[in-house]
Amino acid sequence: MSTVAETGLWRLDAARSAIAVSHVTMWGMVTVKGTFNGVSGEGEVRPDGTVRGVVTLDASSLDTQHKKRDEHLRSADFFDVEHHPTLVFEVRDAVFGQNDVVEVRGQLTVRGVRRPQTVIVKVAESSADAITLATEFTVDRDQFGMSWNRLGMMRGLTTVTSTLRLTRRPA
Protein backbone atom coordinates (compact mmCIF):
# COMPACT_ATOMS: atom_id res chain seq x y z
CA MET A 1 0.00 0.00 0.00
CA SER A 2 2.94 2.40 0.18
CA THR A 3 2.47 3.49 -3.44
CA VAL A 4 -1.14 4.40 -2.75
CA ALA A 5 -0.19 6.55 0.23
CA GLU A 6 2.73 8.37 -1.39
CA THR A 7 2.53 12.12 -1.06
CA GLY A 8 1.84 14.26 -4.05
CA LEU A 9 -0.69 15.83 -6.33
CA TRP A 10 -2.92 13.67 -8.52
CA ARG A 11 -5.14 14.49 -11.52
CA LEU A 12 -8.10 12.47 -12.76
CA ASP A 13 -7.59 10.99 -16.22
CA ALA A 14 -11.10 11.50 -17.63
CA ALA A 15 -10.42 9.37 -20.71
CA ARG A 16 -9.60 6.35 -18.51
CA SER A 17 -12.27 6.94 -15.86
CA ALA A 18 -15.96 6.01 -15.82
CA ILE A 19 -18.88 6.88 -13.57
CA ALA A 20 -22.21 5.16 -14.07
CA VAL A 21 -25.56 5.11 -12.29
CA SER A 22 -28.38 2.60 -12.27
CA HIS A 23 -31.83 2.79 -10.76
CA VAL A 24 -34.66 0.29 -10.72
CA THR A 25 -37.85 1.87 -12.04
CA MET A 26 -41.22 0.90 -13.51
CA TRP A 27 -42.19 -0.83 -10.27
CA GLY A 28 -39.06 -2.96 -10.31
CA MET A 29 -39.36 -4.18 -13.88
CA VAL A 30 -36.75 -1.97 -15.58
CA THR A 31 -33.28 -0.83 -14.57
CA VAL A 32 -32.30 2.51 -16.06
CA LYS A 33 -28.55 2.83 -16.58
CA GLY A 34 -26.52 5.83 -17.55
CA THR A 35 -22.99 7.20 -17.65
CA PHE A 36 -21.59 10.64 -16.96
CA ASN A 37 -19.37 11.68 -19.86
CA GLY A 38 -18.13 14.90 -18.26
CA VAL A 39 -15.90 14.12 -15.29
CA SER A 40 -12.91 15.89 -13.77
CA GLY A 41 -11.03 15.77 -10.53
CA GLU A 42 -7.85 16.01 -8.55
CA GLY A 43 -6.44 14.95 -5.25
CA GLU A 44 -3.54 15.30 -2.88
CA VAL A 45 -1.86 12.99 -0.40
CA ARG A 46 -0.18 15.28 2.11
CA PRO A 47 3.06 14.53 3.97
CA ASP A 48 1.12 13.90 7.19
CA GLY A 49 -0.87 11.15 5.42
CA THR A 50 -4.11 13.09 5.13
CA VAL A 51 -5.95 13.04 1.85
CA ARG A 52 -8.12 15.61 0.13
CA GLY A 53 -9.64 15.67 -3.31
CA VAL A 54 -12.62 16.40 -5.47
CA VAL A 55 -14.46 14.65 -8.28
CA THR A 56 -16.82 16.82 -10.34
CA LEU A 57 -19.45 15.54 -12.76
CA ASP A 58 -21.11 17.62 -15.44
CA ALA A 59 -24.78 16.92 -14.63
CA SER A 60 -25.82 17.56 -18.23
CA SER A 61 -23.45 14.84 -19.46
CA LEU A 62 -25.57 11.97 -18.09
CA ASP A 63 -26.36 9.68 -21.01
CA THR A 64 -28.94 6.88 -20.66
CA GLN A 65 -29.16 6.28 -24.43
CA HIS A 66 -32.70 7.73 -24.44
CA LYS A 67 -32.90 11.40 -25.45
CA LYS A 68 -36.31 12.19 -23.93
CA ARG A 69 -35.40 10.53 -20.61
CA ASP A 70 -32.06 12.36 -20.54
CA GLU A 71 -33.86 15.68 -21.02
CA HIS A 72 -36.20 14.81 -18.15
CA LEU A 73 -33.25 13.88 -15.92
CA ARG A 74 -31.70 17.29 -16.65
CA SER A 75 -34.96 19.07 -15.70
CA ALA A 76 -35.99 20.47 -12.31
CA ASP A 77 -37.63 17.10 -11.51
CA PHE A 78 -34.18 15.57 -11.14
CA PHE A 79 -30.74 17.19 -11.53
CA ASP A 80 -32.00 20.71 -12.39
CA VAL A 81 -28.89 21.39 -14.46
CA GLU A 82 -29.96 24.97 -15.18
CA HIS A 83 -29.40 25.84 -11.51
CA HIS A 84 -27.03 23.03 -10.48
CA PRO A 85 -24.74 22.15 -13.40
CA THR A 86 -22.41 19.88 -11.41
CA LEU A 87 -22.41 17.04 -8.93
CA VAL A 88 -19.42 17.14 -6.60
CA PHE A 89 -17.81 14.63 -4.26
CA GLU A 90 -15.27 16.26 -1.93
CA VAL A 91 -12.87 13.86 -0.26
CA ARG A 92 -12.29 14.85 3.36
CA ASP A 93 -10.40 11.83 4.65
CA ALA A 94 -9.22 8.40 3.58
CA VAL A 95 -8.27 5.48 5.78
CA PHE A 96 -6.02 2.96 4.08
CA GLY A 97 -6.83 -0.58 5.14
CA GLN A 98 -5.69 -4.06 4.30
CA ASN A 99 -6.06 -5.81 0.96
CA ASP A 100 -5.95 -2.56 -1.07
CA VAL A 101 -9.18 -1.26 0.48
CA VAL A 102 -9.63 2.41 1.36
CA GLU A 103 -12.48 3.95 3.33
CA VAL A 104 -13.11 7.37 1.81
CA ARG A 105 -15.17 9.93 3.71
CA GLY A 106 -16.46 13.05 2.08
CA GLN A 107 -19.33 15.29 1.10
CA LEU A 108 -21.58 14.64 -1.88
CA THR A 109 -23.31 17.70 -3.34
CA VAL A 110 -26.25 17.21 -5.70
CA ARG A 111 -28.74 19.98 -6.58
CA GLY A 112 -27.02 22.23 -4.04
CA VAL A 113 -27.70 19.79 -1.21
CA ARG A 114 -24.61 18.55 0.67
CA ARG A 115 -24.62 15.24 2.50
CA PRO A 116 -21.85 13.21 4.11
CA GLN A 117 -20.97 10.13 2.07
CA THR A 118 -18.60 7.31 2.91
CA VAL A 119 -17.50 4.88 0.22
CA ILE A 120 -15.33 1.80 0.31
CA VAL A 121 -12.83 1.95 -2.53
CA LYS A 122 -10.73 -0.87 -3.94
CA VAL A 123 -7.30 -0.03 -5.32
CA ALA A 124 -7.49 -1.91 -8.61
CA GLU A 125 -4.03 -0.92 -9.82
CA SER A 126 -1.24 1.31 -8.58
CA SER A 127 2.25 2.45 -9.45
CA ALA A 128 4.40 5.42 -8.51
CA ASP A 129 2.75 7.51 -11.26
CA ALA A 130 -0.83 6.22 -11.51
CA ILE A 131 -3.60 4.66 -9.47
CA THR A 132 -6.95 3.16 -10.42
CA LEU A 133 -9.73 3.16 -7.83
CA ALA A 134 -12.99 1.25 -8.12
CA THR A 135 -16.13 1.53 -6.02
CA GLU A 136 -19.84 0.89 -5.94
CA PHE A 137 -22.18 2.58 -3.48
CA THR A 138 -25.79 3.66 -3.16
CA VAL A 139 -27.38 7.07 -2.86
CA ASP A 140 -30.89 7.97 -1.71
CA ARG A 141 -32.00 10.50 -4.33
CA ASP A 142 -34.78 11.78 -2.05
CA GLN A 143 -32.11 13.20 0.28
CA PHE A 144 -30.99 15.46 -2.55
CA GLY A 145 -34.43 16.80 -3.45
CA MET A 146 -35.04 14.41 -6.33
CA SER A 147 -38.37 13.04 -5.18
CA TRP A 148 -40.20 12.93 -8.53
CA ASN A 149 -41.98 9.59 -8.55
CA ARG A 150 -44.95 9.38 -10.88
CA LEU A 151 -47.38 6.67 -9.78
CA GLY A 152 -44.77 5.23 -7.40
CA MET A 153 -42.61 3.91 -10.28
CA MET A 154 -39.27 4.86 -8.74
CA ARG A 155 -38.43 3.38 -5.39
CA GLY A 156 -35.23 2.49 -3.67
CA LEU A 157 -31.69 3.64 -3.99
CA THR A 158 -29.57 4.66 -6.94
CA THR A 159 -26.37 2.66 -7.43
CA VAL A 160 -23.23 4.55 -8.41
CA THR A 161 -20.34 2.60 -9.92
CA SER A 162 -17.02 4.24 -10.68
CA THR A 163 -13.57 3.46 -11.91
CA LEU A 164 -11.27 6.42 -11.49
CA ARG A 165 -7.77 6.62 -12.93
CA LEU A 166 -5.52 9.26 -11.37
CA THR A 167 -2.04 10.18 -12.55
CA ARG A 168 0.66 11.95 -10.62
CA ARG A 169 0.97 15.64 -11.41
CA PRO A 170 4.43 17.08 -11.71
CA ALA A 171 5.41 19.14 -8.66
Query: DSSP letters of 24-69?
Result: EETTTTEEEEEEE--EEEEEEE-TTS-EEEEEEEEGGGEE-S-HHH
Signed CA dihedral, 65, 141, 162, 59: sign only:
positive
- pLDDT value of position 56: 98
In a domain, 158, yes or no: yes
DSSP state of 80: -
CATH number of the domain at 104, please. Answer: 2.40.128.110
* CA–CA dist 94, 48 (Å, integer): 12
pTM for the structure as a whole: 0.89
- pLDDT value of position 2: 42
In a domain, 1, yes or no: no
Average pLDDT, the chain: 89
In the chain, helix, strand, coil percent, each to 5?
A: 10, 55, 35
Domain count for the chain: 1
pLDDT tens, 4-26?
557 899 999 999 999 999 988 75
pLDDT tens, 25-82?
755 677 889 999 999 999 999 998 889 999 999 999 999 999 999 999 999 988 999 9
pLDDT tens, 108-167?
999 999 999 999 999 999 988 999 999 999 999 888 887 756 555 556 689 999 999 999
In a domain, 2, yes or no: no
In a domain, 3, yes or no: no
**Radius of gyration from C-alpha coordinates of the chain:** 17
Identify the residue with better confidence: 169 or 89: 89
Which residue range forms the structural domain that includes residue 56? 8-168
In a domain, 36, yes or no: yes
In a domain, 159, yes or no: yes
Query: Please, are residues 44 and 9 in contact by the beta-carbon 8 Å criterion?
Result: yes
Residue type, 146: M
Phi, psi of 149 (to 5 degrees): -160, 70
Alpha-helical regions (H) of the chain: 67-74
- Find the angle CA(78)-CA(79)-CA(82) to the nearest 5 degrees: 120
What 3-state class would DSSP assign to 166? strand
* CA–CA dist 5, 166 (Å, integer): 13
* CA–CA dist 79, 109 (Å, integer): 11
In a domain, 148, yes or no: yes
The number of residues making up the chain comes to 171
In a domain, 76, yes or no: yes
